[in-house]
Amino acid sequence: MSSRIAYSSIGVVGAGAYGTALALAAARAGRKVRLWARDATTIEAVEQTRQAPRLPGIDLPDSIRATSSLVVLADCDALIVAVPTQALRSACEGLAGTLPPRVPVISAAKGIEQASGRFVTEVIEQAWPGATAAILSGPSFAADIGRGLPTAVTLAAADPDLAQALAEALSSSALRIYHSADIRGVEIGGAAKNVLAIAAGIAVGLGLGESARAALVARGFAELRRFGEAYGADPETLMGLSGLGDVVLSCASPQSRNFSYGLALGQGKKPAEAAGGKLAEGAFTAPALVEMARAKQVETPIAEAVAAVIAGHVGVHDAVAALLARPIRAE
């Protein structure tokens, strides 16, 4: 099925920074793009000035058209849903009420639904019965993709041919998309790395030094692998772009909202104010990941510490002290 479709028209649901960046990437790959936004201000800016409010300073080509009508997306060959994880279900329910599930639905969200403990492709399939869900994840900042800087990510779908066709349709000279059939591995890497980024930010905010950050990231990645393998992820996937690659990026740069959130926590801000009005997906993912890890009897002490700090159960100093007091064991 996938190899016979040109994927000449792509719909992007969500005109935030990342959604707009992916719309630009699809346009650079030669696709016509329909960018759906909820608010009239964003649509007017795109159509009148060819600028997106959430990704300023980057001109949008005429091949990107903004709309507030989901019906307009009916002619698209594939959809990218670029909304936060906790809003994904409602977005897909809205799509399901308007469009038939005839095209692949690619999630760009990196997280776990907190209320249900579901991975993002599971949320899509539940909210939109009959939909074919795929996942796009990897080390990528919206600003880098938007500016056309070299970036590599992974797209996974259960059908390997579909994953390859979508990857080829969305790739360009600046954005290289690898394809995979390991949906679970790709989405777990994208979700769990946000929790590790918060932990890394806390370490830096506390002034613990680069050695401490390196140790924390290494041990945190071991947690990610244990969790991923318990939920059916391929270990090789977790060592790739959507696992290790995303960990490297998110745990080292203030551009990462999750790292910045952790940094603010380490510097003494309360969980309620640390995000500064911006979304930190890891704050929602951490408690869900911990509960899911416990269900599989997987030890995740770093994720548990992050979840406890976010919940206000312990302070950052006590959380670090508890981690350092854990019994010495073989690596």
* Inside any domain, residue 331: no
* Inside any domain, residue 329: no
- Tell whether 231 and 289 lie within a shared domain: yes
- Tell whether 177 and 221 lie within a shared domain: no
- Tell whether 153 and 264 lie within a shared domain: no
- CATH number reported for the structural domain that contains residue 164 in this entry: 3.40.50.720
Tens digits of per-residue pLDDT, 251-275?
999 999 999 999 999 999 999 999 8
- What per-residue confidence (pLDDT) applies to 4? 58
- Tell whether 80 and 177 lie within a shared domain: yes
Considering the candidates 193, 269, 278, 296, report the single residue annotated as catalytic: 193
- Tell whether 175 and 203 lie within a shared domain: no
Q: Return d(Cα 135, Cα 269) in angstroms, integer.
A: 33
Evaluate if pTM is beyond 0.75.
Answer: yes
Average pLDDT estimate for 166-177: 97
- Tell whether 164 and 129 lie within a shared domain: yes
Q: Is 193 a catalytic residue?
A: yes
- What per-residue confidence (pLDDT) applies to 1? 43
Tens digits of per-residue pLDDT, 287-315?
999 999 999 999 999 999 999 999 999 99
- Tell whether 165 and 199 lie within a shared domain: no
- Tell whether 138 and 40 lie within a shared domain: yes
State the residue range of the domain holding 89.
2-181
pLDDT more than 70, % of the chain: 99
- Tell whether 72 and 204 lie within a shared domain: no
- Tell whether 158 and 255 lie within a shared domain: no
Specify the number of domains making up the chain: 2
Q: Return d(Cα 77, Cα 9) in angstroms, integer.
A: 5
- Tell whether 175 and 191 lie within a shared domain: no
Q: Return d(Cα 28, Cα 176) in angstroms, integer.
A: 12
* Inside any domain, residue 100: yes
Last residue of a domain, one of 155, 181, 207: 181
- What per-residue confidence (pLDDT) applies to 328? 80
Beta bridge partners of 50: none
- What per-residue confidence (pLDDT) applies to 224? 97
Last residue of a domain, one of 120, 146, 181: 181
Please answer whether residues 112 and 138 qualify as being in contact, where contact means their C-beta atoms are separated by less than 8 angstroms: no
Q: 126: how many CB neighbours lie within 10 A of its CB?
A: 16
* Inside any domain, residue 35: yes
Q: At what angle do helices 120-127 and 85-96 cross, to 10 degrees?
A: 30
* Inside any domain, residue 234: yes
Last residue of a domain, one of 129, 150, 181: 181
* Inside any domain, residue 207: yes
